[in-house]
Amino acid sequence: MTDSKPGEAPQPSYFWQWILVIAPIALGLTFLPKLLNPPVDPQSIVRPAPGSSNWFLIVRMPEAPPNRKTADAAVPLFDQWLTSLTRAGFQPMLLSEILNQQKRGLGLPDKAVVLVFDPAYRYTYEKFGPLLKEHHFPAVWLTSEERLKKSDLRYVSLHVAEQMKKSGLWDVAVFREKEGPFGFLNFDSDSKGAKKIELPYSWVKDSAYLAFNRMSSAMTFHRVNTRLNLTALQLVDQLNVEVPLKEMSALLAKTIDGKVRGLAVSPESQTPPAFNLQASPDRRVAMLWWPSTEGQNNFMLEMKLSELVGELWLSLRANEQGRSGIRIGITQSLVSVDEEVNGNKKQLLVLAPSGVRHKPFQCKVVLVDSEMKLYVNNREVWKYAALRVPNVKDGRFGLMLYDRIRGSAQANGLEILFNPLSKDLIKAIQSFSN
């Protein structure tokens, strides 16, 4: 009851009633967001088990567009990306996890992938962070050390960065210069803020198209850039371009983000196995490499060709610098084989088995250590057992087209099967030959 004037009835007080009404509302406003969007328990996150692979991919993810309408439209696309990566068998990991596996001498699961946000704006975290948490997709948050210290509102705060780290879904790292060295942040519960370790890691320069990394003592990494104009399928294809082959695959040419890339797919895939290769109008040469064949030195390769204008060269055990490798040349009338070791070339074979006038022209190569067999149009035409080109880690398969007239070189109806040969299969082939 409230105080009243003499002779007046006491006025009722609603103080405690208002307290009972306001208190639940205040508590609700405080805790409802956490109830609707609870923090991730690090113990509940299922991490990929160690495997036998020694490689991983790093993908630099795009920032959320500054325009709100465009950013809202990007959210469902980003959701499709994460769903498609999971369905394609990619296993998301933190970079710190991979480095820890390496120190312990453990392998990685197949198709391990690291997502990196750099320079990591706050708006990107607000738009894409909830989806990463929903999909349990860990990522690296790489941001400016200076902006973090100055509490730049375009970036997440130090407090938010600490909560991200504690969630178990994020590595938080900083750089001092754009594209420069970086290091992980450690948050000490006994002191305020964060403790920055050294910046021992860096990026390979001009590696926007390469995601592939091998586990090694090196602290420099490749990372491929992605853009929000890619569909979910194109993103998966962009990464599968670099996934090492383990079994027989069909080799295709596919345009991804405006660049023609060599992609390996299962022969049972619905993707048509045949493709065309052509020089651009201003060039005499067209080249295409299949990164997924890198390090595959022993293999069987089968190729069919419907039509050829100019010369077609098959590069085996070759690097993109062209200093070593085996080359099979095909023209309208000739088939030849060259060998190059450290820039020293040697011609091994020239023959005229009616060339590509046979429709379709067929070629098969069996390559095992220093031995090579060549079949043309279903007939063995050459056998050689003294190859000098070594088994190399960076050797891969590629095609080169050439014609003297710009833009005219083309190979149509190409069908290529690439079959890596295991040690057991090599023994079986050798015993059958003997």
102-107: which pairs have CB atoms within 8 A and are 24 or more residues apart? 102/215, 102/216, 106/50, 107/50, 107/51, 107/52, 107/53, 107/54, 107/215
And the tokens for 43?
Answer: 């113990």
The residue whose two tokens read 């469902």 is 76
Three-state DSSP at 131 gives helix
Of 18, 169, 42, 180, the closest CA to residue 96 belongs to 169
pTM of the predicted model, to two decimals?
0.84
pLDDT of residue 32: 42
Chunked into runs of 10 residues, the chain (434 residues) has average pLDDT values of 52 58 54 46 61 93 95 97 97 96 93 96 96 96 90 92 94 90 77 62 83 89 95 96 94 92 84 86 96 94 94 90 86 92 91 71 94 93 92 90 95 95 70 57
- Domains, the chain, with CATH or none: 42-225 (3.20.20), 245-433 (2.60.120.200)
Q: Counting Cβ atoms within 10 Å, is residue 366 exposed (0-12), middle (13-18) or buried (19+)?
A: buried
Half-sphere exposure of 382 (CA within 13 A, CB side): 22
Largest alpha-carbon pair distance within the chain? 126
Under a CB-based contact definition with an 8 Å cutoff, are residues 187 and 165 in contact?
yes
Kindly give the residue spans of alpha helices, DSSP state H, lying in 111-230: 122-134, 145-149, 158-167
**Which pLDDT score is estimated for 226?**
94
The pLDDT, as a whole number, for residue 94 is 97
pLDDT computed for residue 269 by the predictor = 64
Q: Write down how long the chain is.
A: 434
**8-state DSSP, 284:** S
SS (H, E, C) 79-124: HHHHHHHHHCCCEECCHHHHHHHHHCCCCECCCEEEEEECCCCHHH
